[in-house]
Amino acid sequence: MATPPSTDESWVLEPVRNTPKHFFFRMGLALILGFFIWKLKLDYVESYLYDLRVALRPQTEQALHTAAILIDPNTVAEHRGLPSAEDHAKVLSLLNSARPKAVVYVFNPKDLEGTDSQKRQFVGETRKFEQFYFVTNDLEMKGEEGKLRLPPPYESIRVFPGPKNTDTTIFAKDGVTRRMMLSYQEQILLHPYLAQQFNREIVDLTKVRGHFEFLDSLQTYINFMPKGRVPTFSFSQIESGQLDTSQFTDKIIFIGQDLGTSTKDYITTPYSRDIVAMTTTEMHANMVETLIKNNAPIRAPDWLNLVFTLLISLITVHVVLTLRPLRGLIILGASLLVFTVFSYFSFWPFGVWISMAHPFLAIFLCYYFFIPYRLIIENRRSWEYYQKHRLLQQVEELKTNFIGMMSHDLKTPLARIQGMTEIILKDETPISSPQREAIDTIQQSSRDLLNFINTILNYARIESQGIELNLQSKDINELLKEVVKKHEFLAKLKHIQINLELEPLFSMPVDADLLKQVFSNLVENAIKYSPENSKVLISSEEVNEKIVIQVADQGIGIPSDELSNIFMKFFRSKNAKSSPIKGSGLGLYLAKYFVELHNGSIFVESTPGQGSTFTVELPIKMETRR
Nearest CB to ligand ADP, comparing residues 82 and 490: 490
Please select the residue that binds ligand ADP; options are 218, 267, 314, 526, rule is CB under 6 A.
526
- Give 240-248 contacts, CB < 8 A, sequence gap 24+: 241/94, 245/94, 245/95, 245/97, 245/98, 246/98, 247/67, 247/98, 248/67, 248/95, 248/98, 248/100
The CA-based diameter of the chain, rounded to the nearest angstrom, is 163
Give the count of residues interacting with ligand ADP (CB under 6 A): 23
Least separation in angstroms between residue 443's CB and ligand ADP is 21
Please select the residue that binds ligand ADP; options are 166, 520, 525, 554, rule is CB under 6 A.
525
Nearest CB to ligand ADP, comparing residues 399 and 577: 577
* Paired sense of beta strands 66-71 and 252-257, if any: parallel
Nearest CB to ligand ADP, comparing residues 121 and 606: 606
Site map (CB under 6 A) of ligand ADP, residues 588-617, x = contact: xx----------------------x-----
Nearest CB to ligand ADP, comparing residues 361 and 403: 403
Decide: is 576 part of the binding site for ligand ADP (CB under 6 A).
yes
Decide: is 584 part of the binding site for ligand ADP (CB under 6 A).
yes
Nearest CB to ligand ADP, comparing residues 134 and 589: 589
Decide: is 519 part of the binding site for ligand ADP (CB under 6 A).
no
Least separation in angstroms between residue 516's CB and ligand ADP is 15
Distance CA 599, CA 603 (A): 14
Backbone angles phi, psi at 192, to 5 degrees: -65, -35
Nearest CB to ligand ADP, comparing residues 93 and 534: 534
* Paired sense of beta strands 187-188 and 232-234, if any: unpaired
Least separation in angstroms between residue 466's CB and ligand ADP is 20
Least separation in angstroms between residue 437's CB and ligand ADP is 26
Of 302, 376, 313, 371, the C-alpha closest to 33 is: 313
Least separation in angstroms between residue 557's CB and ligand ADP is 6
Decide: is 583 part of the binding site for ligand ADP (CB under 6 A).
yes
Nearest CB to ligand ADP, comparing residues 225 and 491: 491
Selected range binding ligand ADP among 156-164, 384-392, 418-426, 585-593, rule: CB under 6 A: 585-593
The length of the chain in residues reads: 626
Beta strands in 119-209 (DSSP E): 132-136, 158-161, 164-166, 177-184, 187-188
Please select the residue that binds ligand ADP; options are 521, 538, 554, 602, rule is CB under 6 A.
521
Decide: is 587 part of the binding site for ligand ADP (CB under 6 A).
yes
Nearest CB to ligand ADP, comparing residues 263 and 610: 610
Distance CA 35, CA 29 (A): 10
Least separation in angstroms between residue 596's CB and ligand ADP is 15
Least separation in angstroms between residue 448's CB and ligand ADP is 11
* Three-class SS state of 144: coil
DSSP state for residue 206 in the 8-state scheme:
G
* Three-class SS state of 143: coil
Distance CA 622, CA 406 (A): 36
Beta strands in 23-131 (DSSP E): 66-71, 102-105
Nearest CB to ligand ADP, comparing residues 134 and 567: 567
Site map (CB under 6 A) of ligand ADP, residues 402-441, x = contact: ----------------------------------------
Selected range binding ligand ADP among 174-182, 354-362, 393-401, 577-585, rule: CB under 6 A: 577-585
Least separation in angstroms between residue 594's CB and ligand ADP is 12
Least separation in angstroms between residue 546's CB and ligand ADP is 22
What would the 3-class secondary structure string for 518-570 be? HHHHHHHHHHHCCCCCCEEEEEEEEECCEEEEEEEECCCCCCHHHHHHCCCCC
Nearest CB to ligand ADP, comparing residues 315 and 526: 526
Decide: is 573 part of the binding site for ligand ADP (CB under 6 A).
yes
Distance CA 556, CA 527 (A): 11
Backbone angles phi, psi at 508, to 5 degrees: -145, 155
Nearest CB to ligand ADP, comparing residues 57 and 494: 494
Decide: is 585 part of the binding site for ligand ADP (CB under 6 A).
yes
Decide: is 527 part of the binding site for ligand ADP (CB under 6 A).
no
Beta strands in 217-308 (DSSP E): 217-221, 232-234, 252-257, 266-267, 278-279, 298-299
Distance CA 570, CA 565 (A): 10
Nearest CB to ligand ADP, comparing residues 38 and 593: 593
Decide: is 556 part of the binding site for ligand ADP (CB under 6 A).
yes
Q: Positive or negative, the Cα torsion across 133, 136, 142, 148?
A: negative
Residues in contact with 190: Cβ distance below 8 Å, sequence separation at least 6, in sequence order:
104, 133, 135, 160, 161, 162
Which helix H or strand E contains 37, and what residues bound it?
helix 20-39
Decide: is 566 part of the binding site for ligand ADP (CB under 6 A).
yes
Contact 296, 208 (CB under 8 A): yes
Please select the residue that binds ligand ADP; options are 167, 239, 265, 553, rule is CB under 6 A.
553
Nearest CB to ligand ADP, comparing residues 17 and 577: 577
Residues that bind ligand ADP (CB under 6 A): 521, 525-526, 529, 553, 555-558, 566, 571-573, 575-576, 583-589, 612
